[in-house]
Amino acid sequence: MSGAAARETTPERIEETTEDGFLDGRITLRQPAKGYRAGIDAVLLAASIQARSGERALEAGAGVGVASACLAARVPGLEVDGLELQPEMVALAAENIRRNGFADRVSIFQGDIGLPARDLAALGLEPNSYHHVFANPPFHDPAASPVSPNESKAKAHMTLGSDLEDWVRFSCVMARPKATVTFIHRADALATLLAALQGHVGGIEVFPLWPALGKTASRVIVRGIRGSRAPLVLRPGLVLHRRDGRFSEAAEALLRGGEALHFDRV
């Protein structure tokens, strides 16, 4: 893998950043002080990837590299590539990867998920080669939402010309047969995501994330297998917070302990 293109980019438009710890401080990453900021969604997405040493994983829309770094920290020997559209975020992600000691097996590339397969291959991302492809797709439809005054936040949260079908199509082009394709998304967009996945993956597992007991799920993690014809399974999900607002014991194990999220063991 090579992240040379990422390392040559400078974050010219990011004037102020913060340094934030993840996995109870095991990794520290810089991200913009304003605009889109990665949080627990990225950590939970990384925890849900059932990767092993010697495999290859790809994150679509890598941002500043939080999910990719968390996954690399949990699975030694795993190679991770990340594709990110915004050059300034690519530069931050590449810096974060280097600072945390993952540069030998994590690379960040600048590009669009809409690129043809041949252009992705020329970039260094080989289609049909990854054991795991994962993403935290944009959350808002620009036709229904006001544009954020912060360009980075708008690009991170809105579709801006690409929809869930584009994210699914890209993921399945990059995934090898029997690979996992995993998304974390808004719970109220589950129907749209499942419709986009239809015909591309099977063996789909839906894992709700409940903010607290008795609350409506806010997010879902959806995982499928390319080429599978197995039926959909709805998992019990995970309650994130106790009644006093602290993270639940199970959530703490993922967010601070860096453990893997097993859909059938929570």
Integer Cα distance of 81 and 71 in angstroms = 11
- What does DSSP assign to residue 149? S
As a whole number of Å, the CA-based R_g of the chain is 17
Integer Cα distance of 221 and 227 in angstroms = 19
Confidence of residue 155 (pLDDT cuts 50, 70, 90): very low
Nearest partner of 60 among 154, 168, 205, 185, judged by Cα: 168
Which DSSP helix (H) or strand (E) runs through 81? Answer: strand 79-84
Give the domain ranges of the chain: 4-188
143/167: higher pLDDT: 167
Whole-number pLDDT of residue 138: 84
- The domain made up of 4-188 has a fold known as Rossmann fold (3.40.50)
Mean pLDDT across the chain = 89
CA 157 centroid distance within chain: 13
pLDDT in tens, 228-238: 999 999 999 99
Contact 72, 102 (CB under 8 A): yes
pLDDT in tens, 175-221: 999 999 999 999 999 999 999 999 999 999 999 999 999 999 999 99
Strands 27-32 and 17-22, sheet pairing: antiparallel
